[in-house]
Chain A
Amino acid sequence: MTAPWVAELLASVVEADALRRAVSLALSEGRPALPLWLALADEAPDQLAALALDAHVPSSADRLDASLAVIDVLESELGPERALLGLWALANTAEERAVVRAQAAARHPSAAWNAQLVDGEASPGTAWLTASEASSSLDVICATCAARGFDAALIAAAAAQRSLHPAVALIRVHRLQAAAAAAAAALDAESRLPVVAWLAAVYGPDLELLLLDIARAVRTMEARDALRRASVDLPSVLAALAAP
C-alpha cells in the first residue's frame, strides 16, 4: 500500500521536472527511495526510469536496492543493457558494483555487455562466467572473455563447468599457454572430456606442443591417464606424463 506521504507527493506534481525536484528533495531529506520507486513503477514507469538512472537525483542509502527491486520495470522501459549499465554507472562502491554485476550476469548471461561490468572484480569475468554455467551461449561468452583477456576467469570456469569452451576460445585468440591451462583444468575436473578431438578441430592435428603443455599442467591421475590414452603416438607427451 502506498504510504500517505508518497501519495501526497505524487498527487502534488504533474510535470516531470516538478516530480524530479520533489523526489530529489525527499531523498535529500533522508526519505527512503523504495516506496517512491514502487509507487512510480505502478503509476509512472517512464518517470521512474528517468529518475532511477538520473545521476543528479540525490542518492539514498537504499537507492540501488530500490532500483533493483523494480528492475523488471526499468528493463521494460529502457532495455536490459541501458538499465543495468545505468545502475552500474551509479554504483558508488565495490560492493554495489558487485551487486549490479551479479544481477546483470544472472538475468542476462548471454549479453556481451556483461564484459563491461568487471571493474573492481578480482578476476575479471568470473561473475559472468559463473552465471553462464547453464547457458547455451557459453561458447560465445567464452569468446568474448578471451577477446577481453579474462584468462584467469576462463581457466577457473573450465574447471568449475567441466568445459572445453574456455580452452577453445583461448586457442582462437592464440593464447596457447592459457589454453593449455584451461584444457588441463577441465580435464582435471572431468577426465572423460574429448579434449584432443576438440583441440585438434580448432588448432589442427599438429597437437604435440599443445598437448605437452597440457601434460605438464594436469594434476589428477585420471586426467593423466586420459591424456596418455589420447597421446599414444606422441612420445614427448608420454614422457611428460611419465615424469613425477
Chain B
Amino acid sequence: MASPAHIAALAGRTGPWPFAGAFTGTLCDDGPTGLAWAGRVTSGADLSLAWRASRLLEHPLARPGLPRADRRRALAIAWARLDGVQRELLGPNAGDGVSVLLIAWDAEGVALSGIGLEALYASDANGELAPWLAPAHPLFGLPGLTTARPMALTVDAAPSTLIAVAHGDEHDLAGVSLHTALQRSGVRR
C-alpha cells in the first residue's frame, strides 16, 4: 500500500526575517515513492543572496526522477543532488549554514535524514505538537553540507507532517498546535 504524502517543515528563526534562505517542497512522481524537504541556508544579511541560495538547493531536490519503490535510494539521490550544488554560490558560509530535513517514503515505509537539526516534532492525538525523537537522537547534529552521508532513520510509518527545529534555534514547539507550527514554518499549503 502506498504511503500518503508527507510534509516536511522547518520552524522559522526568530527575528525580522524568519524565512530568509528557507526552502520547502514535496516531490511525488507517478510511483509510490515521494520526497519532502524543508531547509534553509544561512547567507548573511543579504536577502537576495539568501533567496538565490535557497533556489540552488531547492531546484535539484524538486527535479523529477525519483526511483520507484525505494525510499532509501530516494534519500541517497536527494543527498547526491545536494552534493552537486556549488558551495561557493551559497553565500559567505559556503554551505556551512545549511539545515535540511528530508523525508522519503514508499509503499513499505518512511526514511528520514537531515543535517543541522536539533528537534523533530509531530502532532499528538489532540493536535498539539510533541517531540517525535529524543533530544539526543543521532539524526540531530550540526548544520552544513558535508561529504559524509548523514544518517538515515528508516521506519515502517511516520506522522504525515514532521516539523523540525534547526540547530541553535532553541524553539520549544511542545504544545503548539499543528496549524500554528506550520504557520511559523512558512508552510502555506
Chain A interface residues (CB < 8 Å from chain B): 139, 194, 196-198, 200-206, 209, 233
Question: Contact at B47–A201, with CB atoms within 8 Å?
Answer: yes
Q: Is the CB of B22 within 8 A of A205?
A: yes
**What are 15 inter-chain pairs, A to B, with CB distance below 8 A?**
A197-B48, A200-B20, A200-B51, A201-B18, A201-B19, A201-B21, A202-B17, A202-B19, A204-B19, A204-B22, A204-B24, A205-B23, A205-B186, A206-B24, A233-B59
A205-B24, A209-B188 given; A200·B54 CB < 8 A: yes
Known A-B contacts A203-B186, A204-B186, A205-B58; A196 and B51 likewise in contact (beta carbons under 8 Å): yes
A95 to B17, CA, bound (A): 40
Apart from A203-B19, A204-B18, A205-B23, list 5 A-B contacts with CB within 8 A. Answer: A197-B47, A201-B17, A201-B20, A206-B189, A233-B62
Interface pair B187/A206, CB less than 8 Å apart: yes
Q: Assess the A205–B19 pair: CB atoms within 8 A.
A: yes
Report B-chain residues with C-beta under 8 Å of the C-beta of A206: 24, 186-189
Cβ contact of B18, chosen from A197, A198, A202, cutoff 8 A: A202
Using Cβ atoms and an 8 Å threshold, which residues of chain A touch B52? 197
> Cβ of A194 and Cβ of B51 under 8 Å apart?
yes
Chain A residues in 8 Å Cβ range of B62: 233
Pick the residue among B22, B23, B47, B186 that contacts A198 (CB under 8 A).
Answer: B47
Are B16 and A205 in contact (CB-based, < 8 A)?
no
* Shortest Cβ distance from A197 into B: residue: B51
* Cα A39 to Cα B22 with chains together (Å): 63
A200 touching B16 by the CB < 8 A rule? no
Q: Are B47 and A204 within 8 A (Cβ)?
A: no
CB proximity of B178 to chain A, nearest CB, Å: 16
Taking the nearest CB of chain A, how far is it from the CB of B18, in angstroms?
A: 7
Contacts of A233 in B (CB 8 A): 59, 62
Residue of A194, A196, A201 with most chain B CB atoms under a 10 A cut-off: A201
B9 to A, closest residue via Cβ: A204
- Judged by a CB distance under 8 angstroms, whether B143 is at the interface is no
Q: Which 10 A-B pairs have the closest CB atoms?
A: A204-B186, A197-B51, A206-B188, A201-B20, A201-B17, A197-B48, A204-B19, A194-B48, A197-B47, A201-B47
CB-CB under 8 A from B186, the residues of chain A are 203-206
Decide if B42 is an interface residue (CB 8 Å cutoff).
no
Determine the distance from Cα of A59 to Cα of B103 in the docked complex, in whole angstroms: 74
Interface centre among A139, A196, A205, A206 (most CB of B within 10 A): A205
Bound state CA distance, A66 and B54, in angstroms? 58
Chain A nearest CB, measured from B189 CB (Å) = 6
Bound form: Cα–Cα A196–B19 in Å: 12
Which B residue sits closest to A174, measured CB to CB? B183
Residues of B within 8 A of A198 (CB): 47
Q: Which residues of A contact B58 (CB under 8 A)?
A: 205
A201 to B44, CA, bound (A): 12
The CB with the most chain A CB atoms within 10 A, among B19, B20, B21, B62, is that of B19
User: Chain B residues with Cβ under 8 A from A200's Cβ?
Assistant: 19-20, 22, 51, 54
Residues of B within 8 A of A204 (CB): 12, 18-19, 22, 24, 185-188
**Chain A minimum-CB-distance residue to B21:** A201
Write the chain B residue with the least CB distance to A200: B51
Q: How far is the CB of B78 from chain A (nearest CB, A)?
A: 17
List B59-116 residues whose CB lies under 8 Å from chain A: 59, 62
